[in-house]
Amino acid sequence: MAFAPLHLAVALEGAGWHPAAWREPAALPDELLTGRYWTELIQEAERGLIDYVTIEDAHALQSSLPDRPDERIDQVRGRLDAVLIAARVAPLTRHIGLVSTASVTHTEPFHLSKAIASLDYAAKGRAGVRVKVAWSAYEAALFGRRPIPAFSIEEHDLPLVRELIQVLFEEAADVVEVLRRLWDSWEDDAEIRDASTGRFIDRDKLHYIDFEGRWFHVKGPSITPRPPQGQPVVTVLAHDTVPYRLAARAADIVYVTPTDWPTAQAIVAQVRAQQEIARRGHETLHVFGDLVVFLGRTAKEAQQRKQRLDEAAGEEYTSDAHIFTGTAAQLADLLLEWQAAGLSGFRLRPGAIPDDLAAITGALVPELQRRGAFRREYDAETLRGLLGLPRPVNRYAPTGAAS
């Protein structure tokens, strides 16, 4: 049976997504804050021909509680900056995309735009960003610039809380709009670099973006020339209508969290409906399913390993995403089944690193290749190319100008 080629991303989070992963025999807790650790993980993902990795980040310390810090001392706390990790790894990789998570609620879009544009230069066209909304009062207090009322996850459906969440996601959409305008604020041929005439740039090809919104007034232009991809890839994690709306309006990829085939189909339909409302129905918006994966040579082995991790943590691990425990062949079955619901790819969260990352690259990828559902070599030089996304025309260039 022939399958459409799948896109695969890997979400990297410290020692793995299970909070006890750092205690596994193969884990390297002493190296979590080293460049070598991240380089070796991403090079392993590249050997597996993975489209891209996402690197987790946040302003607040990791916590077992969704809305506030905890007092635990038995879980990983502390991390490196995701953009800087990607910049460190960029010259040591050749094909794999590098997507850094960025919390945009407390970050100026001008700063983020030049960081991601610079990463795109360092990676020669393989950069992206996962736009993340920060809704906790605790995280807001770290900055002290804007108050966010405290509420628990159980109060998420209260009208005032839902209104706040909607406002934060509307702000995030404006952030992405500013990013995209700044990335376009230099035309592709704005740099002349002609020493004989003394002309380095064509000033007429640098543009003020003059963005005026509820939260930002950004004049521009950027200080960084237009990135190699024109527009680095923008991604969003979404669980509900409001973030689906953000993805439909602003993103190239949205990560969703179905639990089975029917919910995958229903979520894809919701995303596509929002895409039509945003008048982007003619554009490619990839919908990737997120899964946490624990892989073993047998299903029993994988289940026993997760159980051992749960016992070490003192509680059963739960997640916003579906948790898969089994063999690479069983995971391939699930991915191809869910693909038929309309998902164009998957972002896999390794339960424990390096074990589950190695199982993805060394067992899952070959299994998908045997079924004709995954590439056997990289076929593009940029992340947009790998994802089948065209290089956008610069919005400020004259009609008909080269993109």
Residue 291 maps to a domain: yes
Q: Count the domains in the chain.
A: 1
Residue 193 maps to a domain: no
Q: If we measure between CA atoms, which residue out of 132, 158, 343, 134 comes closest to residue 235?
A: 132
322-363 tens-digit pLDDT = 999 999 999 999 999 999 999 999 999 999 999 999 999 999
Rounded distance between C-alpha atoms, residue 25 and residue 22, angstroms = 8
Residue 245 maps to a domain: yes
Rounded distance between C-alpha atoms, residue 164 and residue 170, angstroms = 10
**Enclosing domain of residue 139:** 7-185+224-386
pLDDT at 2: 59
pLDDT greater than 90 at residue 142: no
222-267 tens-digit pLDDT = 999 999 999 999 999 999 999 999 999 999 999 999 999 999 999 9
Pairing mode of beta strands 345-350, 7-12? parallel
From residue 38, alpha-carbon distances to 12, 26, 41, 93, 224 in Å are: 9, 15, 5, 11, 26
DSSP state letters, 37-76 = HHHHHHHHHHHTT-SEEEE---SSPP-SSSSS----SSS-
Average pLDDT, the chain: 95
Domain CATH for 145: 3.20.20.30
Tell which wins on pLDDT, 402 or 41.
41
Q: Which two tokens stand for residue 38?
A: 């991240």
150-200 tens-digit pLDDT = 877 777 788 888 899 999 999 999 999 999 999 999 999 999 999 999 999
From residue 247, alpha-carbon distances to 20, 234, 255, 296 in Å are: 32, 9, 9, 34
Cβ–Cβ contacts within 10 Å for residue 208, how many? 12
Question: How does 174-204 read in b/e, with b if 16+ C-beta sit within 10 Å?
Answer: bbbbbbbbbbbbbbbebbeeeeeeeeeeeee
Residue 51 maps to a domain: yes
8-59 tens-digit pLDDT = 999 999 999 999 999 999 999 999 999 999 999 999 999 999 999 999 999 9
Residue 198 maps to a domain: no
Q: Which residues pair with 287 in a beta bridge?
A: 254
Residue 157 maps to a domain: yes
Residue 84 maps to a domain: yes
Residue 143 maps to a domain: yes
Give the angle 8-175-393 at the CA atoms, nearest 5°: 70
pLDDT greater than 70 at residue 401: no
Q: Count of residues for the chain?
A: 403
Rounded distance between C-alpha atoms, residue 143 and residue 139, angstroms = 7
Q: What sections of 128-219 are H helices per DSSP?
A: 137-143, 159-183
pTM of the predicted structure, to 2 decimals: 0.95
